[in-house]
Amino acid sequence: MQLLAVIILLGCSLSFCIGRTVEVDSYGRQQEVQETRTVTFINQRKSGACGLYWSGERVGSGPGLFYGPLAPNGGSREIEGFPGQVFVLVEAGTYDRLAEFTISEDQEQQFRVTDAHVPELLPTTTKTRETATECRSYSSSCEECMQVAGCGWSVVREGCFLAHPIATTSDKQECTDLGLPDPGSKSLDAWLNQANALVSAERDDLPFSLRTAYRILQHASLASQEANDLGRKKITVALTELTAKLDAVLDEQDAMELLEKSRHEELAKIHPHMPMVDRRTLAEAQAYIAQGKPVIITDAFAHANSRTSPVAHKWTLEYLRRRIFASNADPKPKFNVAADQQGRCCRYFESQGKAKQSGYPYPFAPSTHLYRDTFDGFVKTVRKAARLDSKKARVIHYLHEIVMDSHGKAVVAGGTAPPPLVADLQAVKATLEPIASDQPFFGGFANAKLWMGQRGIVMPMHYDSTDNLYVMAWGRKRAIIGPPGQLDALYRYPNAHPLVGSSQVNLSSADLEKYPNFQHAQLQEVIVGPGDILYLPAWWWHQFEQPFEDTAALNLWSRDRDQAPDPALRDKRVREHALFDQLEGALVQLFGNQTGLVLDARANNRKDHKQQFMSANRALILAAESWQKQAFRMPGGHPKAEVPASQLVAEFLETQKEVMRDTLPEWQPGTGWDLSQAAKLPRDLRERCEPAPETSPFMSYCG
């Protein structure tokens, strides 16, 4: 007898219906399989609304569906749910958990949250700290280190540390001498070829090969000073690349020491006590991810191998060059690269085509030069730079290319990806999707991007509107991050500006005379290295820096599931973005591409356009009042919903004073970008550079 499963709907939430499952046989007879239970959730707190979310059938998961707010003093909601389903009550407008409930087999159930319920504390990691301290005490002997549970030997540091899947070994075989012949017994190129063969090998235990290659290169570097100078430089470059792969962030003490020695002096004066983002095991990190809080996951690849964890275990510059992006295609695919002078590289900005469509409402003279090059060309560029004197002022380069599209398909330069990349990204998705599924409203990965760049790169403070898992392949990055909102403290560029989503403040040398509110910004700092994953929630500000060595990372942005509520509804901090968007939007509607000039005049209290000045005032006040009404009705409200609209307008205008401060008097809206200040490309790059059309979604110009 054939059975067909159907759903009979019993109750619907704001965005989701649940019911009971029945089976229908071939005669149309229904046989009930599982009945729903009537469940009532009650908020008995005296003050403070709650948000009610469904979290699937696994305790500790992030919110999946929104069932609306529960008002204080008895606000309630009755639903029909299945036994085993998990629901969570949070502080309204946040992901801070007050209580989690699992539906039982009882027919009718009530779950209450009272003033005794307070936001859950995040997990601590005392045991890991104790193990890390014990490991360091055995740094005098590789053999002794191997005998301590949870410890591993670092061939780069030559010391005992907390076990790391790539940077340390627990194999006693690696404590013994390799038995290599005299360094001068063969050419430096022969030593280099031997090491490169290990680096690009196809084997499950590739970290062992990487550490062996490192030891071979160390041995080769002892060759006589009379050896070929170019050969010695090649050995040094290869050794530097492997060091970046094998010298990780080994424990909390290591992270704090790295932060201390790389901190911006001026920033430290303004913000001397920035908390460090917590480093946690995967089991501990689940609570952070479910509540939308940033965290470093330290052991996600502890039990993986080169097949299941290719980014952490396999990816090096040489491996990518030989195995992934080696191309016989004609023409070879071109990758997006940014270039700028050391200390300025690199600012992300919207394409010139988008600015043209908006009528060029703001003047813009980028220093970052965007171009496209083959992967081999990029490798030659960075390796040539590594052989030169790094103390000289130089142009540095940052490759940034989408390698997985919105459909989850591997791509290279927008085209077909080679099979090895397809296999590697499938493995990455399989490993990371269970982690990402704890993100609030996770609906799958939106795309993935490869970032590769030289030491000295800084990507200035900005935010993205989607959750992000940031997986380091090699090198160590530091980042300065901050919670959503804070638009008045971090001085966001306007939406119509090419630097939309970025802060006007230069964090390395913040000018408090121009940006006085920056002293009130909430900031944290973090170090992420090979084998680490940084979970960076949506809308969090972040500035990535590379003060130690060249780096590479793969980041995977997420998309929300279809039934997800608007970000401003579930996170009240994001409502500040809506405020600024509405204020600017009101002016754009009135003045079009003249908005930049009008906004600048109004922010700096210039009345050279009297009629526009008055119209702008009225539009801004009306937009502020409209936002206040919306914010007041949202769960958890917003502090700015209760201040005078004129104050909101004044705070917004304060953030716009410097946007056009240095504009030349003759500039007018509609004037195209000034590219004369962009960093100059080296001659060999200019010769193979191909300019992109002005309307292209990417930029490539060849000056």
Question: CB within 8 A of 341, min separation 6: which ones?
Answer: 367, 393, 394, 395, 396, 679
- How confident is the model over 478-499, as pLDDT tens digits? 999 999 999 999 999 999 999 9
pLDDT(649) > 80: yes
Q: Give the model's pLDDT for residue 32.
A: 52
- Whole-angstrom distance, CA of residue 145 vs CA of residue 169: 10
- How confident is the model over 100-136, as pLDDT tens digits? 999 999 888 999 999 999 988 888 877 788 899 999 9
Radius of gyration of the chain (CA): 28
pLDDT(447) > 80: yes
Q: Which residues of 676-703 are buried (b: 16+ CB within 10 A; e: fewer)?
A: eebbebeeebeeebeebeeeeebbbbee
* Main-chain dihedrals φ then ψ at residue 571, nearest 5 degrees: -135, 105
For 166, half-sphere exposure in the C-beta direction (CA atoms, 13 angstrom radius) is 33
CA-to-CA dists, residue 697 to 290, 353, 354, 422, angstroms: 35, 7, 8, 24
pLDDT(398) > 80: yes
Of 186-190, 322-326, 392-396, the least confident? 392-396
Q: Give the model's pLDDT for residue 16.
A: 39
CA-to-CA dists, residue 650 to 435, 583, 594, 605, 644, angstroms: 43, 11, 20, 11, 10
Enter the DSSP assignment of 400. Answer: E
- Whole-angstrom distance, CA of residue 63 vs CA of residue 84: 15
- Whole-angstrom distance, CA of residue 302 vs CA of residue 311: 13
- Its pTM stands at 0.92
Between CA 533 and CA 629, with CA 502 as vertex, the angle to 5 degrees is 105
pLDDT(29) > 70: no
Q: Give the model's pLDDT for residue 25.
A: 52
* Main-chain dihedrals φ then ψ at residue 466, nearest 5 degrees: -130, 155
Percent above pLDDT 90 for the chain: 68
Paired tokens of 143: 């053999």
Q: Give the model's pLDDT for residue 31.
A: 54
Q: Give the model's pLDDT for residue 390.
A: 56
Enter the DSSP assignment of 19. Answer: E
- Whole-angstrom distance, CA of residue 615 vs CA of residue 71: 39
Q: Rounded to the nearest 10 degrees, how much is the dihedral formed by the CA atoms of 103, 109, 115, 117?
A: -20
Identify which has the larger pLDDT, 58 or 30: 58
The average pLDDT across 683-703 equals: 76
Q: Tell me, what amino acid is at 406?
A: S
Q: Give the model's pLDDT for residue 4.
A: 30
Q: Give the model's pLDDT for residue 443.
A: 94
Of 123-132, 213-222, 402-411, the least confident? 123-132
Of 125-139, 223-237, 447-461, 544-558, the least confident? 223-237
* Domain boundaries defined on the chain: 4-113, 126-246, 252-334+374-486+522-559
- Whole-angstrom distance, CA of residue 51 vs CA of residue 95: 9
Closest by alpha carbon to 368, among 387, 388, 351?
351
- How confident is the model over 281-331, as pLDDT tens digits? 999 999 999 999 999 999 999 888 889 999 999 999 999 999 999 877 778
Q: Give the model's pLDDT for residue 3.
A: 30
Burial of residue 624 (CB within 10 Å: 0-12, 13-18, 19+) is buried
* Main-chain dihedrals φ then ψ at residue 260, nearest 5 degrees: -60, -45
Q: Is 288 helix (H, G, I), strand (E, B) or coil?
A: helix
- Whole-angstrom distance, CA of residue 297 vs CA of residue 285: 6
Diameter of the chain by CA atoms?
92
- How confident is the model over 229-265, as pLDDT tens digits? 788 889 999 999 999 999 999 999 999 999 999 999 9
Q: Give the model's pLDDT for residue 23.
A: 52
Paired tokens of 168: 């340390």
Q: Give the model's pLDDT for residue 34.
A: 64
Closest by alpha carbon to 620, among 658, 649, 599?
649
Q: Rounded to the nearest 10 degrees, how much is the dihedral formed by the CA atoms of 302, 306, 309, 311?
A: 120
Q: Tell me, what amino acid is at 381?
A: T
Please state, rounded to an integer, the average pLDDT across all residues of the chain. 89
The average pLDDT across 464-488 equals: 97
Which 3-state string (H, E, C) describes 610-675? HHHHHHHHHHHHHHHHHHHHHHHHCCCCCHHHHCCHHHHHHHHHHCCCCCCCCCCCCCCCCCCCCC
Burial of residue 543 (CB within 10 Å: 0-12, 13-18, 19+) is buried
Q: Give the model's pLDDT for residue 128.
A: 83
The average pLDDT across 647-675 equals: 90
Q: Is 37 helix (H, G, I), strand (E, B) or coil?
A: strand
DSSP code per residue over 44-62: --SS--EEEEE-TTSTTPP
Q: Rounded to the nearest 10 degrees, how much is the dihedral formed by the CA atoms of 23, 24, 29, 31?
A: 0
Percent above pLDDT 70 for the chain: 93
Identify which has the larger pLDDT, 449 or 21: 449
- How confident is the model over 64-111, as pLDDT tens digits? 999 989 999 999 999 998 999 999 999 999 999 999 999 999 888 999
Q: Tell me, what amino acid is at 615?
A: S
**Hey, what CATH class is 252-334+374-486+522-559 in?**
mainly beta
Architecture of domain 4-113: Sandwich (2.60)
